[in-house]
Chains A and B, each alone.
Chain A
């Protein structure tokens, strides 16, 4: 499992009802279902991801997460997860609001566009940055709504979502310790947020 997914898994109480939006191959949900006694549902648009979920025995709906989210009952889940996907949705603000509606806790991980390497690339080379976390060229990227950690935190404030905890991660999704909290927006390649009441 990707290291950032280990971080997400550690944030989830055993026995939770988990919604994983953009669940990919279902590895996180499989882990939560088999090892943490959770029940879960994945939403995945990509057919390969969908089939991988079936092979893992993970319940999944194939479809666009923004459409599927609208059809889910309020409070149907305990936790809604959006890992490394917020930047690829059409309406990040609405997705956050909808996540809040369907689950009292939300876990969101995202790449930090404010990281110094990206800032430097843009400032010095004058070209859109391509990095291990954001490996696409500007014209073929699914990441249409990139933001910095500061941007994201401002949005959570507007969406009236409380940040319970924030774990900073490196480009591989591993936890980075010892970063000055105030410098995170410059120094952390990404972060995992636990949000909720």
Chain B
């Protein structure tokens, strides 16, 4: 699908600095926080048409459109849902996407310079939580002069940010779209996360997270972590359909321990291309962000917060997703409803596993379109954002 938006660029804003450091939920502080973000569409006069996209573990601010010189077939990671006439219709919505705190695509994270030492933070970057990611998103919105969102939208870790945001800050989000997310990782999820983390930390080049400037990087560990992760993002069916037992570049097996099956080649490619664009420490930090996420830990507080707000939630899952299965989404819906929130829930049929949230599945996009349309109508937002 060609990009509907055309050329876009990533902007940067310093949202915490100097005498106004970022105070984390843990009590720790980060002196200077810069955020990389992109926007699509126009903010309307009463600033009521803003939609915030929260990205997942390996995402970035470049959700839609093309950067100067990009291959036109490789637009931003969620281009199929953002643009004129698409579910997040930029003819009438102002869409914002920002790289998360702890990220490695322009926003301050473990690979950023620590102003106190002049060196990259590495593992001296403080541990962060979903709540801190939301704090930084909100600081960016304050910078942009936006007090209330028509919607916050996110898949996977993105959905978790939407959930935390809506619970912690009543009255800021009209519609919370929580897609293929979890309100509480399962033991199995945490187990996969642990193996990925081990892969990185056992890499001989990891050097306690301080490999920056050494000329060596824990690429093998990060690549392996990505390979493990990728298996959990696909479904057995999608792998069978995509690769079967086919042999890479040959008709007959070569028999040996090198890459032979297509699926192996694919996983290697995923691992390789990932290390070229991603930071191993960010992977560790954001993995931990997910492991510790537990927004419903205190149901009394959640009920109080939900009652103070008026967010309408759309919770979606995909039937082939086994990373955050429908059971996770149903639990989110049940906990939100228990707290008194209006929640619409649907399980979408798809063969793409956890990655489904990135695909333009008609039932899925039709549901998002209808939900956004309703929110916009309630705010009196028509075409052109007015």
Known contacts: A55-B370, A57-B374, A57-B378. The answer to whether A39 contacts B342 by CB under 8 A is: yes
Q: Kindly state whether residue B344 has any CB partner on chain A within 8 Å.
A: yes
24 residue pairs A–B, Cβ–Cβ below 8 Å? A39-B342, A41-B343, A47-B363, A51-B366, A54-B370, A54-B374, A57-B312, A57-B378, A59-B337, A59-B342, A59-B343, A59-B344, A60-B344, A60-B345, A61-B333, A61-B344, A61-B345, A61-B346, A62-B345, A62-B346, A71-B330, A71-B334, A73-B334, A76-B338
Q: Is B232 at the interface (CB under 8 A from chain A)? A: no
CB of B230 closer than 8 Å to a CB of A: no
Known: A41-B343, A62-B347. 20 other contacts (CB 8 A): A39-B340, A41-B337, A50-B346, A51-B367, A51-B370, A54-B344, A55-B370, A55-B373, A56-B374, A57-B374, A59-B337, A59-B343, A60-B344, A60-B345, A61-B345, A61-B346, A63-B347, A71-B330, A71-B334, A73-B334
**Bound complex: CA A76 to CA B343 (Å):** 14
Q: Is A59 touching B312 in the complex (CB atoms < 8 A)?
A: yes
A61 to B378, CA, bound (A): 21
Cβ contacts B355-386/A at 8 Å (1 or 0 each): 00000000100110011011000100000000
Q: Could you say which residues of chain B place their CB within 8 Å of the CB of A73?
A: 334, 338
Q: A54 to B367, alpha carbons, bound, how many Å?
A: 8
- Tell me the complex Cα distance, A111–B333, Å: 33
Q: Which 6 A-B pairs have the closest CB atoms?
A: A59-B342, A54-B370, A62-B346, A61-B345, A60-B344, A59-B344
Interface band, chain A: 10 to 19
Contacts of B346 in A (CB 8 A): 50, 61-62
Within 8 A of A (CB), among B246-305: none
B contact face: mostly helix, strand, loop, or mixed = helix
B343 cross-chain contacts in A, Cβ below 8 A: 41, 59
Docked Cα-Cα span, A51 to B334, in Å, equals 20
In the assembled complex, which residues on chain B have CB atoms less than 8 Å from the CB atom of A59?
A: 312, 337, 342-344
The reply on A53 being an interface residue by CB < 8 A is: yes
Residues from chain A with a CB closer than 8 A to the CB of B338 are 73, 76
- Name the residue on A nearest B315 (C-beta): A61
CA–CA, A55 and B344, complex, Å: 11
Q: How far is the CB of A41 from chain B (nearest CB, A)?
A: 7
Chain A residues contacting B333 (CB-CB under 8 Å) are 61
Q: How far is the CA of A12 from the CA of B374 in the complex (A)?
A: 26
Instruction: List, in ascending order, chain B residues with CB within 8 A of A50's CB.
Output: 346, 367
Considering the chains assembled together, what is the distance between the CA atoms of A53 and B345 in angstroms?
11
List A contacts of B337 (CB < 8 A): 41, 59, 76
B215 to chain A, nearest CB (A): 54
Chain A contacts with B in 26-56, Cβ cutoff 8 A: 39, 41, 47, 50-51, 53-56
Interface residues of B in 301-353 (CB under 8 A from A): 312, 330, 333-334, 337-338, 340, 342-347
Query: Using Cβ atoms and an 8 Å threshold, which residues of chain A touch B345?
Result: 60-62
